[in-house]
């Protein structure tokens, strides 16, 4: 078995890299949320999506890839970090390949001057699965525990009007603005301000995250990349009476896998909490997604067990936990 950087110009290796990861994930996770090949491929070929650089290491048995790890290196902020995902094909597990891949990833992260490696271990709710046993065996420690949740949009749609009404009654003076794909120019500065606040405001446990740095270039580069990979972003912001942005939520649906989407970050700034803005924004976003993608059946999200406010909103919306994600980290 040999570990080497995969050849980005070799279509067959790109496919294998994607497929080994997918086969390993399919074998143990309850839902398929693996990024479609069409969405993943541009970052594979180009060495990363905007604002990130990647390394792709394959564990080869002859020409056949039996394991792989993807290193994602932020370049605009958090340049001490390296995020990895790592999978070994189910037929080749428990032979030390995963451990060898971790060693190779640590070496590559060190060569890039990174201090801390962060990975995600997905485990069944209520028990510690193989991913956590493996991460402990390879020197990672648990930094934060998140519930991975799914909501059925078709099933919960009948509740939205009532929830929107209830939230509106509690958020007098605030207005909601929705958009898809491109942030309206007049909201850009505020959109960046909320994104920069995110890492300080959302619970991140022991993770060594620093605030992100956002500007117009970053936003527009991300949007251009989304267009190229067929990813649609649905966003709703809450504006305070003085016109500043009080809250923001975003979700994504891919043209290549339109039956399921991802609910990503939701933030209400501390001075604006208690007005049901989280609920108001998320209901509005569910409605927007349903209108644009009627075939989108479920949304997936993750939120920290300690995040009582977000958990309460998600419960009202009908999210239910389907597994856990333990974010783990170790020094290089």
Ligand X SMILES: CC(C)(COP(=O)(O)OP(=O)(O)OC[C@H]1O[C@@H](n2cnc3c(N)ncnc32)[C@H](O)[C@@H]1OP(=O)(O)O)[C@@H](O)C(=O)NCCC(=O)NCCS
Question: How many other C-beta atoms are found inside a 10 Å radius of the C-beta of residue 65?
Answer: 21
The CA radius of gyration of the chain, in Å to the nearest whole number, is: 20
Strand partners, 239: 175, 245
Contact call for residue 193 and ligand X (CB under 6 A): no
Cα 249 to chain centroid, rounded: 13
Nearer to ligand X, 137 or 224 (CB): 137
Rounded least distance, CB 28 to ligand X, Å: 6
Assess contact for 236 and 284: CB atoms under 8 A: yes
Determine the residue with CB nearest ligand X: 98
Which residue number, 313 or 325, has a Cβ lying nearer to ligand X? 325
Q: Tell whether residue 313 is a contact of ligand X (CB under 6 A).
A: no
Smaller CB distance to ligand X: residue 98 or 278?
A: 98
By C-beta, is 105 or 299 nearer to ligand X? 105
In whole angstroms, what is the distance from residue 272 CA to residue 308 CA?
16
40 vs 269 by CB, closer to ligand X = 40
Q: Which of residues 70 and 174 has its CB atom nearest to ligand X in the complex?
A: 70
To the nearest whole angstrom, how small is the minimum distance from the Cβ of residue 87 to ligand X? Answer: 4
- Provide the minimum distance between the beta carbon of 66 and ligand X in the complex, in angstroms, as a whole number: 9
Give the count of beta carbons closer than 10 Å to the beta carbon of residue 225: 17
The Cα–Cα gap between 280 and 170 comes to 9
Total Cβ atoms within 10 A of residue 163: 21
**150: which DSSP letter?**
E
Q: Which of 36, 130, 205, 265 binds ligand X (CB under 6 A)?
A: 130
CA 307 – CA 152 distance, rounded (Å): 22
Within positions 68 to 127, which residues make up the interface with ligand X, using CB under 6 A?
Answer: 86-88, 93-99, 119, 121
Q: Which residues sit at the interface with ligand X, rule CB under 6 A?
A: 24, 28, 86-88, 93-99, 119, 121, 130-131, 133-135, 137
């Amino acid at each position: 078995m040999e570990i080497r950087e995969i050849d980005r110009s070799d279509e067959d290796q790109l496919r294998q890299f994607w497929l080994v990861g997918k086969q390993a994930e399919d074998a143990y996770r309850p839902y398929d949320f693996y990024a479609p090949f069409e969405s993943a491929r541009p970052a594979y070929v180009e060495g990363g999506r905007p604002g990130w650089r990647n390394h792709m290491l394959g564990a080869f048995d002859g020409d056949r890839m039996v394991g792989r790890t993807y290193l994602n290196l932020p370049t605009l902020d958090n340049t001490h970090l390296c995020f990895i995902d790592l999978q070994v094909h189910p037929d080749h597990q428990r032979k030390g390949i995963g451990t060898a891949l971790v060693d190779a990833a640590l070496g590559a992260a060190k060569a890039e001057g990174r201090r801390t490696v962060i990975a995600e271990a997905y485990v069944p709710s209520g028990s510690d699965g193989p991913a956590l046993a493996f991460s402990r065996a390879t020197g990672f420690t648990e930094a934060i525990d998140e519930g991975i949740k799914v909501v059925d949009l078709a099933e919960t749609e009948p509740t939205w009007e009532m929830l929107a009404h209830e939230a509106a009654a509690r958020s007098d003076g605030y207005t909601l603005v929705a958009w898809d794909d491109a942030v309206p120019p007049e909201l850009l500065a505020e959109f960046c301000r909320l994104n920069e606040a995110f890492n300080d405001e959302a619970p991140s446990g022991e993770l060594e995250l620093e605030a992100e740095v956002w500007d117009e270039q970053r936003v527009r580069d991300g949007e251009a990349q989304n267009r190229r990979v067929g990813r649609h972003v649905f966003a709703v912001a809450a504006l305070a009476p003085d016109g500043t942005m009080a809250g923001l939520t975003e979700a994504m649906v891919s043209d290549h896998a339109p039956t399921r989407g991802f609910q990503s970050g939701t933030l209400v700034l501390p001075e604006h909490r208690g007005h049901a803005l989280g609920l108001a924004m998320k209901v509005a976003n569910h409605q927007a997604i349903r209108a644009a993608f009627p075939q989108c059946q479920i949304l997936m999200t993750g939120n920290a067990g300690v995040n009582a406010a977000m958990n309460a909103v998600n419960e009202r919306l009908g999210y239910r936990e389907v597994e856990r994600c333990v974010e783990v980290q170790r020094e290089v």
